Structure 1
Amino acid sequence: MDPAPARPPAPALTDLPALVERLGTPGLVDVHTHFMPQNVLDKVWSYFDGVGPLTGVEWPITYREEEDRRLALLRGFGTVAFTAMLYPHKPGMAEWLNAWGADFAARTPDCLHTATFFPEPGVHRYVRRALDAGARVFKAHLQVGGFDPTDSRLDAVWGTLSDNGTPTVVHCGSGPAPGPFTGPGPMARLLARHPRLRVIIAHMGMPEYADFLDLAQRYEGVLLDTTMAFTDFSERLAPFPEGELKRLVDLGDRILLGSDFPNIPYPYAHQIRALERLGLGDDWLRGVLYENGAALFQLTPGAHRSP
């Protein structure tokens, strides 16, 4: 069998607000952006500065800017709602990250209040406190945290999140480097315990795309974000299977825009154009870029736009 033809290069990076206007949406809803305390972000950037040996590809940070500048850039792209993906790599971090996240959301009205957790004593208490404070989305990073999502210390956390429908963005795929609890197996076991859990699979589950699409078809609460998927950068490392594109249409109302801004090695617009060039139609693109996220978080047009 002849190999599938290579996808064309991304179109020219034209004005994103013009694309938003063409689609007729109020803007973009990006469920996977990173804002965090500067000392933590500096360590994240240091990791990506040295990630070349893991991937064989350099990973320059395109938007290594001060916080105010990053916010201005993101809004300038037409993004009207976004997240502050925080994640701990050890015990004792999550609660103070959540305090920072609450303060950031209070002073940043277009940010969806984001919180996180780690399997440790007291985790259910501070997750409950974050919810009471208005947290609308959580982040769990199984690769960086190196923890099993089925750890018994998280049972009450997952139960609470399942009961109230608050979504958790979970980095559970094995890219860019596998960890002891990455891959579809741990998440499949978690969902078997909590079948109503609402989780957003980060990076489309890269590189185990098909396995995570299987989970989405099996469990109605499973969604996937597009973070870095389909871009030229990721297609070189972990190409999305051409044969799975139809399932992106079938699951179109459960695919959400994610970008990994600011920690991306290419312009923000490239993520959007990589989705556009899939050729799945304006209705699909409109859903991914705005409507699905707006429905998930019950956004009112204009309500989250910064003054």
Structure 2
Amino acid sequence: MDCHVHLMPERLIAAIRGALTDDAGWSFPHPSTQGEMERALRAAGVERYCALPYAHKPGIARELNAWVAERAETSEMVVPFATVHGEDDVGAVVNEAFEAGARGLKFQCPVQELAPDDPRLDPAYELAAEHDRPVLFHAGTAPLFEDSPYVGVEKFRTVVESYPDVRACCAHMGTFEWEAFVDVLADHDNAFLDTCFAMSSAVGEAMAFDPASVPDSVFERHSERILYGSDYPNIPHSYVSEREHLLSRDLADDVYRDLFHDTAERFLGER
């Protein structure tokens, strides 16, 4: 299972890619339409993926969530997530999305200018607890957000501690503050990390981070709370490189089963 895939309307994907090209100089070799994406993922051995939208401005979340839900109806691969903007009617939008089948929430904190501990999101977390739905955040500073006031380990920790019944995941292993985010895992059973982008064998071509700086012991100790994700299709490197570095490590078979499948099911509340 790939727990970090962006399935969104073509116009929105194109805008995101344009922004990343302008800000970071990246180019994108991967298709962005559902059919082509799923053929590529299936060829890579992916059985299911979490489809993560995010609303960069108010007023679009409802339509975006409905679009993702509709795509899930046509594909057994899609695990639909939903999003909401802080200036929306947060409780109403999230409740509607959960009633329509959304399996979790996604927040791209720096782009949405919405910190994890923003009190406007409290209704979303309350509904997530009530419906047993997880939340996935881009709450770390990588790759371009070291100066953003909307990210950081303490903002993530506040949510984890305030809502112990909500499973909360930080994307990108929490880079560049990965050590501090791993400490949150050690202290809180409802905290998770995903591997996307930061653990790619090609990550050094796109940002100043060495995945080898994260020792094997982190995955061995916390495999039940670390899950594989890729950020596909908005990655400037090959899909295989997202797994290449992880698979080059000398980890036990049960650790790999956790990383690539079982922990995703735990995060989704399926086991």
Among 107, 117, 140, which residue is 1:140 paired with? 107
Name 1:48's counterpart in structure 2: 20
Deviations 1:186-220 (A, max 9, x none): 11222232233211110111111011111111111
- TM superposition shift of 1:81: 0.6
CA contact 1:209–1:240 (8 Å) conserved in 2: no
Would the alpha carbon gap of residues 177 and 242 (structure 1) be closer, same or farther in structure 2, given more than 3 Å must change? closer
Would the alpha carbon gap of residues 50 and 296 (structure 1) be closer, same or farther in structure 2, given more than 3 Å must change? same
Q: Taking CA–CA contacts closer than 8 Å with sequence separation of 6 or more, which of the two structures ends up with the larger relative contact order? A: 1
- Is residue 224 of structure 2 the alignment partner of residue 268 of structure 1? no
Name 2:92's counterpart in structure 1: 125
Q: Separation in 2 of the partners of 1:182 and 1:92? A: 23
- Is residue 164 of structure 2 the alignment partner of residue 195 of structure 1? yes
Name 1:175's counterpart in structure 2: 142
* More displaced 10-residue stretch of structure 1: 191-200 or 37-46: 191-200
Among 183, 192, 199, which residue is 1:230 paired with? 199
Who wins on radius of gyration, i.e. which is larger?
Answer: 1
CA contact 2:202–2:241 (8 Å) conserved in 1: no
SS at match of 1:265: coil
State the TM-score, normalized to the length of structure 2. 0.92
- TM superposition shift of 1:164: 2.9
Deviations 1:75-127 (A, max 9, x none): 11111110221001111121111111111111122100211112124110110
Deviations 1:16-47 (A, max 9, x none): xxxxxxxxxxxxx0010011011101101112
State the TM-score, normalized to the length of structure 1. 0.81
CA contact 2:160–2:191 (8 Å) conserved in 1: no
SS at match of 1:155: helix
What does residue range 76-115 of structure 1 map to in structure 2 within 5 Å?
76-115=43-82
What is the number of residues matched between the two proteins? 267
Would the alpha carbon gap of residues 243 and 63 (structure 1) be closer, same or farther in structure 2, given more than 3 Å must change? closer
Among 27, 30, 34, which residue is 2:2 paired with? 30
Structure 2, gaps ≥5 residues long: none
Q: Separation in 1 of the partners of 2:163 and 2:119? A: 13
Q: Separation in 1 of the partners of 2:88 and 2:233? A: 32
Deviations 1:43-63 (A, max 9, x none): 0111222232xxxxx422120
- TM superposition shift of 1:296: 3.6
Q: Separation in 1 of the partners of 2:201 and 2:5? A: 19
* More displaced 10-residue stretch of structure 1: 232-241 or 200-209: 232-241
CA contact 1:127–1:157 (8 Å) conserved in 2: yes
- TM superposition shift of 1:258: 0.1
Name 2:255's counterpart in structure 1: 284
- TM superposition shift of 1:295: 4.0
* Amino acid across the alignment from 2:58: P
* Amino acid across the alignment from 1:290: H
Identity of aligned residues (%): 28
Q: Separation in 2 of the partners of 1:153 and 1:243? A: 34
Q: Separation in 2 of the partners of 1:69 and 1:121? A: 32
CA contact 2:98–2:131 (8 Å) conserved in 1: no
* More displaced 10-residue stretch of structure 1: 192-201 or 104-113: 192-201
CA contact 2:49–2:79 (8 Å) conserved in 1: yes
Among 171, 176, 180, which residue is 1:211 paired with? 180
CA contact 1:191–1:197 (8 Å) conserved in 2: yes
* Amino acid across the alignment from 1:233: A
Among 34, 40, 56, which residue is 1:67 paired with? 34
Among 155, 161, 182, which residue is 1:186 paired with? 155
**Alignment root-mean-square deviation, CA:** 1.9
- TM superposition shift of 1:162: 2.3
